[in-house]
Amino acid sequence: MNWFLKGILTCSAVLLVLAIWLIPDGIAQAAFQRRSAVRVRQVNELFNRNCARCHGADGRSDTPQGHLFRAPDFTDPEWWKKNATTTSTRTLRAAVARGKAGMPAFGKKLTRSEIKLLVDRIRSFRNSGRKS
């Protein structure tokens, strides 16, 4: 076999190995992105169904119920700073589960995993708000 044919066969083998290795990764990546998009949609629906009445879909609490109950603006960096001792993940989960001030308890209505998802959603507003 001449050197040219060996080179073509070697390149073909390398390309085949790369294709076998990369294609499943691309498929896995696409599946992960689809699952992530579905999860984001589910979390948003969960938040909108249980929290947005007071906290607003955007987390700003600029709603009639939010004003009535003085619900915090989750997008306000100052609120996060002022409440740093009570905004840990654990404390927020407890507040959602047990209620706080005018907020009802959701511990019997929602599962632990749903409460965890809601707290993750609440914490995500922290980075989407106004800049200080």
pLDDT in tens, 50-71: 999 999 999 999 999 999 999 9
pLDDT in tens, 21-39: 666 666 767 776 777 888 8
* DSSP bridge pairs for 100: 103
Amino acid 81: pLDDT: 95
CATH topology of domain 54-132: Cytochrome Bc1 Complex; Chain D, domain 2 (1.10.760)
107 DSSP 8-state letter: T
List Cβ neighbours of 53 (8 Å cut-off, separation of 6 or more). 63, 65
Would the pTM of this model clear 0.75, i.e. be above it?
Answer: no
Each domain of the chain, given as residue ranges in start order, spans: 54-132
Residue 89 has pLDDT above 90, yes or no: yes
